[in-house]
């Protein structure tokens, strides 16, 4: 199973008055614009059409919708396991419940970094990975998705994704 992790694009700053429920905080116009370019780069990395899963938070859903539109993917499926407050274990359970060969997960920090570390080195590992807004990483599991069983294929910051040219999928 190949899993592409995508951090949501640049969202508005937290503001309890505007968004008492932080899950409703949207992307900024500039964040959406920049991510459209990054989404072309992510699309260039896809060999075939994956299934797109997203956190139910507004900023992640908006990021997933942009990616689906730009990369010509089916609409994203909302998964509560990808919410910012969930554990890395929830992510592994989600992956084990899926049968697809390639998945894209759109989510949040610190969940994405924690999940990536756990996937590569196990649940007890403690090292830092910087996952920029609008960035992406690709890991591959040779068998059942379990902690410490993934191989990092690539990790690209948004500025590199924005510089990439879109490629046609076979």
pLDDT tens figures, 23-82: 999 999 999 999 999 999 999 999 888 999 999 999 999 999 999 999 999 999 999 999
Domain that holds residue 146: 2-13+21-163
Answer whether residue 144 is part of any domain. Answer: yes
**Residue 53 C-alpha from the chain's centroid:** 8
The pLDDT of residue 61 is 98
- What's the predicted TM-score (pTM) here? 0.94
Answer whether residue 146 is part of any domain. Answer: yes
Burial 122-135 (b: 16+ CB within 10 A, else e): eeeeeeebebbbbb
Answer whether residue 74 is part of any domain. Answer: yes
Average pLDDT, the chain: 94
Structural domain total, the chain: 1
The pLDDT of residue 113 is 94
Answer whether residue 30 is part of any domain. Answer: yes
Instruction: Note whether 53 and 106 are within 8 A (CB).
Output: yes
The pLDDT of residue 169 is 46
Answer whether residue 31 is part of any domain. Answer: yes
Distances from the Cα of 170 to the Cα of 45, 48, 104, 137, angstroms: 12, 7, 18, 21
Residue 83 has pLDDT above 70, yes or no: yes
Answer whether residue 145 is part of any domain. Answer: yes
The pLDDT of residue 165 is 67
Distances from the Cα of 88 to the Cα of 20, 82, 98, angstroms: 26, 9, 16
List the CATH number of the domain containing 72.
3.40.50.1240
Task: Give strand pairing partners of 52.
Answer: 104
**Better-predicted residue by pLDDT, 165 or 131:** 131
Answer whether residue 106 is part of any domain. Answer: yes
Q: Over pLDDT 90: what percentage of the chain?
A: 88
Residue 168 has pLDDT above 90, yes or no: no
Answer whether residue 151 is part of any domain. Answer: yes
């Amino acid at each position: 199973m190949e899993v592409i992790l995508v951090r949501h694009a640049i969202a508005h700053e937290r503001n309890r008055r505007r968004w008492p429920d932080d899950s409703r905080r949207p992307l900024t116009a500039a964040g959406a614009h920049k991510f459209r370019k990054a989404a072309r780069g992510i699309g260039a990395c896809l060999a075939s059409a994956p299934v797109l899963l997203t956190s139910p938070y507004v900023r992640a859903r908006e990021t997933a919708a942009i990616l689906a539109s730009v990369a010509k993917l089916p609409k994203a499926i909302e998964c509560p396991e990808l919410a910012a407050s969930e554990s890395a274990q929830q992510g592994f359970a989600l992956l084990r419940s899926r049968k697809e060969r390639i998945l894209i997960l759109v989510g949040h920090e610190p969940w994405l970094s924690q999940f990536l570390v756990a996937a590569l080195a196990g649940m007890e590992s403690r090292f830092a990975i910087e996952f920029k807004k609008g960035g992406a990483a690709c890991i591959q599991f040779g068998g059942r998705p379990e902690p410490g069983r993934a191989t990092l294929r690539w990790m690209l910051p948004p500025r590199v994704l924005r510089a990439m040219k879109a490629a046609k999928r076979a």
